[in-house]
Structure 1
């Protein structure tokens, strides 16, 4: 395997601080309902904690998606075909990504991730499993259009977005991401890329709440790590010990909501600015929307993708959808 060192596309200031991270945190903490985009949960420590979450008994999505990938390899190979450059939005899982790569015989693999160290570790792990595959890790915020390495520009492309990350976004943000994926994968240049995307399904709220608030407290540490990251990278003084993790089901919006709730009145600084939280006030850190067949298809179509095949695990908990970029049309 040829493994490149990666292309760093994160915009950092003279102190090495990610400008977008600072802007999102300061803007989010200034809102009446404090909120920080979920992508900032995934620094190196957060990425490792999430990998730990995927092994928890309560967290079914990884097992369900892996079941689909193991069972449907021949169908993926038939519908996707060999030789595509697989562009994964988020560093690949040591379990799921190899299952796809084994099934479709890709021409190259391009993992995109905002966490550079974790990205390179994942790329190195893949290099041991696929010695003949060219890998081009790119450190970038995949929420925006990303310039791919020149070596893959002439290849047909498959976007791979496993897990349930698309559910972390409200509808307008998810649609924007799906459209930027089209652009990253070359649809704006007349190509017709494909996208294989995971979407979690609506189910019993007790099952959902347990998956996001596990008995061992790993998800709580994942959530609290965001406050630690703010303290470390943005000169924050958040009293982490005075925050607690909550993850209630919001039926009106068909989503689990993760929050950091203040257990007492607190005051702190971030990047030189003062903030306060009353007891019971929260920072909204993540949504995890759950989908029906109809809502999944509607979201994809709005983002410029036409679903062509859909698979679920045997228990009907999770879905993988293969979609194709639709022709660009003028907005109505």
Structure 2
């Protein structure tokens, strides 16, 4: 297929082994949520997006579908479109016909999943050059040499910025600002603060898919790192921390246990948790203030009915 290329930058990222050793050695054990996304984890997340309790994907897709022409009128066509964490590519498909980008750079941490998605996109849009980059986008956003030198648009849907704490979020937005350069724009979707019962239900679906997604981290430890761990010995626990403005996701040990890895021994007491994810929720003024600190100003922003979700279009300000 002529209109797709692949670029592997993942070797620059922190390895899963190093992340597990570092994370389990802490007093408050934690592992970054990016390690959810091996091929199975990516597939499970796609299933989460189909659960009725998990409202963000359906609300955001509806908004993007309705706003696509308006967004394109504000951005213009023929931009280089970059999507960190492309996932299944479902949302970018809602924009491509209106945006008519000069090329598309999907980025993801799972190479096998990224290759499948990029190949499908290239087949569906034969007019669109696709330059897929396997990368840990939380640290770098490398653009392939083949990417055209046209004004840039970063598309970051799914409230993925919520996985960063406030300091990390500002640093990531500054990284995006650097990649955008002059005349660059950012289109980003973010979940909003709302009643706890709505948020708690979204991360504890009745079908148990989010629990399975969370426990996939344990499957990866067992299968890839050969840690002797039984995923059934941990419970999924997700709740809204109102004081911090975030959903927290944990794996809680159901008993006292020891996990062995390459000469290391990690002790879990019954009830002790492994913190696997945060998902910060933003009021519009909170995010716009954060974006301003990163060197971007608002072009327009939209809120879904009842303020369920926000989409923001920003442009870069002059550096210096």
- Please state which band the TM-score falls in when normalised by the shorter chain: over 0.9
Of 224-233 and 91-100, deviating more is 91-100
Is the Cα contact below 8 Å between 1:5 and 1:137 reproduced in 2?
yes
Report 1:37-56 matches (<5 A): 37-56=32-51
CA distance in 1, matches of 2:97, 2:306: 24
Counterpart CA distance in 2 for 1:92 and 1:82 is 23
Normalising by structure 2, we get a TM-score of 0.95
1:74 to 69, 72, 75: 69
Structure 1 residue 281 and structure 2 residue 276: aligned?
A: no
Deviation, 1:60, is 0.4
| Residues 1:231 and 1:303: Cα distance change in structure 2 (over 3 Å) | farther
> Is 1:215 the counterpart of 2:206 in the alignment?
yes
Equivalent of 1:152, from 147, 151, 157? 147
User: Superposition pairs for residues 133-172 of structure 1, below 5 Å?
Assistant: 133-172=128-167
Query: What is the TM-score of this pair, normalised by structure 1?
Result: 0.92
Query: What is the alpha-carbon distance in structure 1 between the residues aligned to residue 221 and residue 170 of structure 2?
Result: 28
What RMSD, in angstroms, separates the aligned Cα atoms of the two structures?
1.6
In 2: Cα distance, 1:74 partner to 1:321 partner? 15
Equivalents in 1 of 2:107, 2:179: separation in Å?
A: 11
What count of residue pairs does the alignment treat as equivalent?
320
Counterpart residue number, 1:270: 261
SS at match of 1:315: helix
2:122 aligned partner: 127
Unaligned runs of 5+ in 2: none
Q: Where does residue 102 of structure 1 map in the other structure?
A: 97
In the alignment, the residues of structure 1 paired with residue 146 and residue 217 of structure 2 have an alpha-carbon distance, to the nearest angstrom, of: 35
1:59 equivalent in alignment to 2:50: no
Deviations 1:75-114 (A, max 9, x none): 1111110001110001243431111112211111000111
Post-superposition CA distance 1:202-255 (Å, at most 9, x none): 111111011101001000000000111122222322221110100011010011
**Corresponding residue for residue 7 of structure 1:** 7
**Larger mean Cα displacement after TM superposition, 172-181 or 207-216:** 172-181
How is 1:245-256 mapped onto 2 (pairs within 5 angstroms)?
Answer: 245-256=236-247
| Separation in structure 2 between the aligned mates of residue 278 and residue 303 of structure 1, nearest angstrom | 41
Q: Is the 8 A contact 1:262 1:281 kept in 2?
A: yes
Contact 2:4 2:122 in 1 (8 A): no
